[in-house]
Amino acid sequence: MSLLKRIAAPPDLNTGERRNYIGVQLDAIGVGIASAAAPYLPVFLARLGATSTEVGLLTTMPALTGLILAIPMGRFLQRQKNIVRWYSMMRLSAILGYALTGLIAFLLAEQALVWGVLGIWALITIPQTILAITFNVVMNAVAGKHSRYELMTRRWSILGLTTTLMGLITGQLLTLNNDAFPLNFQIAFILLSLGGVFSAIITNRIKIDLPEPEVTSNLTEGDEVAPRLGIQESIKAYFKPILANRPFLSFMSKRLVFLFGSTLAVPLFPIFYVKQVQATDGWIGIINNALTFSLVLGYFFWTRISRRHSSRYIIILTTLGVGLYPLFVSQTMQPWVLAILAGLVGFFQGGLDLVFFDELMKLAPPAYIPTFISFAQSLQYLSTMISPLLGTAIADQFGLTAGFLVSSGMRLLGCFLFGLPLLAEWVKQIKRPVITG
């Protein structure tokens, strides 16, 4: 038992920290089970005859809701003492969307079912928005300042392995029961959503303490209650710490460019697999699982690299690797080649996930984590709302290959922006005069 405890958590943690550390990893199992359903949701819609635009709504709807609600939810969560409770409830609510998708297919058919599924996931966007903020707050609190790479490597590795295993099983079962469509997808969605119940049970046991933000009192002598701020004053109070943090804004702007390129291709991949490659559900499962499994390898590799090299080197290398992926995908129609490419990009994506999370947490003041995270999420939602629609519009007008090329171009532009400071240093070194004798 002591050996298992040492493997599950660093040895220098106290009892409460160790419980949280292990809880976060157990939670990853439940989330991993449910996450195996995610790649098959757009495939389900595509097989029902959904258009590119309708498939793209799976990505744009959460973005629209998040763009509207992220900042208000950040302000709300900034005042909450029990963030874990919100994280647990929203995780369960978001995952139950898969169960509802399976159940509604018993009631609707064909085009009505497509819009019914989209309606469910339109509602799920609300807990997804809150979950995106609370996840970062909880993970950062559990990890502390010096073990973000270690904790997220452990968590995401467990999640990746669980998702890979469940996704492989799901893909093969869907293929074997292909004639039973859509019943085979319904059963898969309902069973995989049980992972959300396990997640909720585990996360309710996590206990964290968050630092209190500095509060400027509006009370005058003799007042008993501080007056509520007006809308204009509330907006100013929200943005004041963000606008004062130049490094955070610089990182966010570069990240936004890269995210535009990344989300542009999200709805294109399932359409490409189904309609152009004509891949079976089994092959689609293998492709997704190759990416997920290689993520695990990437987490461990880039964690080791982070101990010897700075974050900026990791960002440049990982954005470059992920940036080239749509370009290479557009040049093949072979499922086995797509699986290899997915395995390669997963390796780089693992490092990108870690370094983006670490940089975001380093630049956000501890007392204002919900505020800064909600702002970061709102920018991410902005890209997720606009970019997939642009991607599907390009695909409809010029073809999927054009969409993939634009996606790669924007990702590589983000890579270039992250590399500019390092390039500037190299130029200075080259121009520096050499003193001899």
Contact 185, 44 (CB under 8 A): yes
Element (H, E) at 432: none
Look at residues 241, 202, 260, 226 and name the one whose alpha carbon lies nearest to residue 373.
241
Q: Check pLDDT > 70 for residue 29.
A: yes
**C-alpha torsion 90→93→95→100, nearest 10:** -160
Nearest to residue 270, comparing CAs of 395, 376, 406? 395
Per-residue pLDDT tens over the stretch 328-366: 999 989 999 999 999 999 999 999 999 998 898 889 888
Whether the per-residue pLDDT at 137 is higher than 70: the answer is yes
219 — pLDDT class (breaks 50, 70, 90): very low
d(CA 72, CA 249): 19
Instruction: Give the lowest-confidence range in 36-40, 91-95, 323-327, 363-367.
Output: 363-367
Enter the DSSP assignment of 222.
Answer: T
Mean pLDDT in residue range 296-308: 88
Task: Using alpha carbons only, give the angle 123, 124, 130 rounded to the nearest 5 degrees.
Answer: 115
- Rounded Cα distance between 185 and 170, Å, is 9
400: pLDDT strictly greater than 60: yes
- At residue 255's C-alpha, the angle toward residues 250 and 259, to 5°, is 155
Dihedral sign for Cα atoms in the order 257, 263, 268, 274: positive
Give me the pLDDT at residue 225, please. 41
> Which runs of consecutive H residues, i.e. helices, occur in 144-182?
148-176
Q: What are phi and psi of 141, to 5 degrees?
A: -65, -40
In sequence order, the 6+-apart residues with CB closer than 8 A to the CB of 349 are 291, 295, 298, 318, 321, 322
Amino acid identity, position 271: I
| Cα–Cα distance, 27 to 205 (Å, whole number) | 10
Q: State the pTM of this model.
A: 0.76
For the chain, what percent of residues have pLDDT higher than 70?
88
Maximum mean pLDDT: which of 15-19, 222-226, 350-354? 350-354
Counting DSSP H helices and E strands in the chain, the numbers are: 17, 0
Lowest-confidence region among 92-96, 318-322, 367-371, 421-425: 421-425
Q: Which amino acid is at 105?
A: A
Closest CA to 375 of 162, 131, 139, 69: 69
3-state secondary structure 361-379: HHHCCHHHHHHHHHHHHHH
pLDDT at 216: 44
pLDDT over 80 at 163, yes or no: yes
| pLDDT given at position 7 | 53
The CB-side HSE value for 154 (13 A sphere, CA atoms) comes to 19
DSSP 276: I
- Predicted confidence (pLDDT) per residue in 364-377, tens digit: 888 788 888 889 98
